[in-house]
Structures are given as structure tokens and as C-alpha cells.
Amino acid sequence: MTELYHAIAIDNTHFFYLCPYDKKICPSLVHFHGSGLDSITNRIEGRSSHCCGDKGNNVEVIIDNHTLRKTLAIRGNSITFKKIRKKT
Ligand SMILES: [Zn+2]
């Protein structure tokens, strides 16, 4: 079974999506996977899930015009978005 998610943010190294499960099932607020140095292109990325709630199922993550081109940072239970650092 494949779970479908929507990426909330993408930068040059990762894309991020919110974990939909109760924290008793999965302690993570957000899951992320490698973005392959492409923060620009809208697409669907298939991965195997890191999420306890998905039990290792495959996920498809939609990256579209609603996905912020930002770096996501997590501190405790809060999420902040930061400007993507330019590649040096
Ligand atoms: Zn999860």
C-alpha cells in the first residue's frame, strides 16, 4: 500500500512532510527524504517510509506550487521555515 503525502517544504538537500499520526503511534512531527539537489521542479517522489505509522510502506510525496521552497527547521514541537542557503 502506498500512502500519499504533500510536501510542505523543499530545499536543495531534503523535502519535508508532516507526519499525520498521533504522537503515541509516531513520535516524529515531520519526515524528510533527500531531494537530490533539486528544490525547483514540481514532481512526485516515491520513497519507503521512515514513519512508524506507515510501517515501512512506500510513500509518494507531492511537490507542487504549494510546497514552500524553504529549509524546514524543527525545535521541539515548533516548525520554522528558513531561506534556502545558496549553493557555494
Ligand atoms: Zn510519522
For 31, the domain range is: 2-82
For residue 75, how far is the Cα from the chain centroid?
16
C-alpha 6 to ligand 1 mean position (Å): 14
C-alpha 88 to ligand 1 mean position (Å): 33
Query: Quick check: is 88 in a domain?
Result: no
Q: How many structural domains does the chain have?
A: 1
Query: Quick check: is 87 in a domain?
Result: no
Mean pLDDT confidence for 64-87? 92
C-alpha 31 to ligand 1 mean position (Å): 6
C-alpha 37 to ligand 1 mean position (Å): 24
- pLDDT tens by residue, 17-43: 999 999 999 999 999 999 999 999 999
For residue 88, pLDDT over 70 is answered with no
Share of the chain above pLDDT 90, in %: 88
Query: Quick check: is 12 in a domain?
Result: yes
Confidence class of residue 87 from pLDDT cuts 50, 70 and 90? low
List all residues 6 or more positions away from 72 whose beta carbon is below 8 Å from its beta carbon.
8, 9, 11, 14, 16, 30, 32, 79, 80, 81, 82
Query: Quick check: is 78 in a domain?
Result: yes
> pTM score, two decimals?
0.91
